[in-house]
Amino acid sequence: MRLNYLQWRVIGATMCVCVFVALAGGCSAILSRPAPSSLYQLHYRPQPIPCAATLPASVRIWPLEASPPYDQEALVVVATDARVRYSSQYSWVAQPGKMVSEWLTRDLSQTRLFPSVMTAGEHFAESYDLGGHLFVFAWQGTQDRWQAVLEAEITLVANRSMQGRQIVLRKPYRMVGESLRENDAEAFAAAMSRLVADLSAALQQDLCAAAIANQAVLTGPTSP
């Protein structure tokens, strides 16, 4: 049977669509990265620590730097034999160092430790910079028990126009969560949230001590 012109056009268009779909599918399989099954974020209620003193300038909070394997979003599991595994299904909403700095920004904004709290992009001549390094942000397993572990070093630097930069606080923090039998992403996220809350509380206490010490220097010794 001889096909007319219109029928040939329909067949040609159909073949073009098929070829396009096949090519698109092949490129998609090569170039796209499968989305994680679930994204997790930290969550805890702020607990401002009262302090009798205030540091005299605003603070800029920088994302914590992190070395591999904690410089990416995938949840990290460390087994008993020291093997490090990345989760292929579960990820944080952002890199851990960025998440921690964002929650510290929220918490310090609700205290009176600084006149104001800013993000890293803002600039003032007289200010403090708060940042540091994230060494561990993992779910560690020992036999049939699991616990979240957070290790970081936090540094507070004063920027003074006449005196340059001066380290006010540099301290390591190690937070270890409760040993649990549950071994899933939900347990990890909940346990790590508690550790970041503990880190925030400990840092606020240390910043308060620095503020009190700074106030004592400014006021000088009291008369007997």
Q: pLDDT value at position 36?
A: 58
CATH number of the domain at 38-219, out of 3.10.350.10, 3.40.50.300, 3.40.50.10610, 3.90.1150.10?
A: 3.40.50.10610
Asked if pLDDT for residue 202 goes beyond 80, the answer is yes
The answer to whether 48 and 107 have CB atoms below 8 angstroms apart is yes
User: CA 168, CA 15: separation in Å to the nearest integer?
Assistant: 70
Segment 191-211 mean pLDDT: 98
Residues 160-170, mean pLDDT to the nearest whole number: 82
Residue 204 burial (10 A CB sphere; 0-12, 13-18, 19+): buried
For a pLDDT cut of 70, what percent of the chain falls above it? 76
Mean pLDDT of the chain: 83
pLDDT of residue 120: 81
Where is pLDDT greater, at 79 or 108? 108
**Cα–Cα distance for residue pair 141/137, rounded to 1 Å:** 13
Residue 155: the pLDDT is: 98
The answer on pLDDT for 27 being more than 50 is no
pLDDT at 163: 67
Which comes out higher in pLDDT, residue 219 or 70? Answer: 70
Identity of the highest mean pLDDT range in 82-86, 138-142, 171-175: 171-175
Summarize the confidence of residues 192-205 as an average pLDDT: 98
C-alpha 157/C-alpha 152 separation (Å) is 16
d(CA 176, CA 166): 31
CA–CA separation, 64 and 155 (whole Å): 10
- What's the pLDDT score for residue 109? 96
Residue 218: predicted pLDDT? 64
- Say how far residue 2 (Cα) sits from the centre of its chain: 68
pLDDT of residue 142: 80
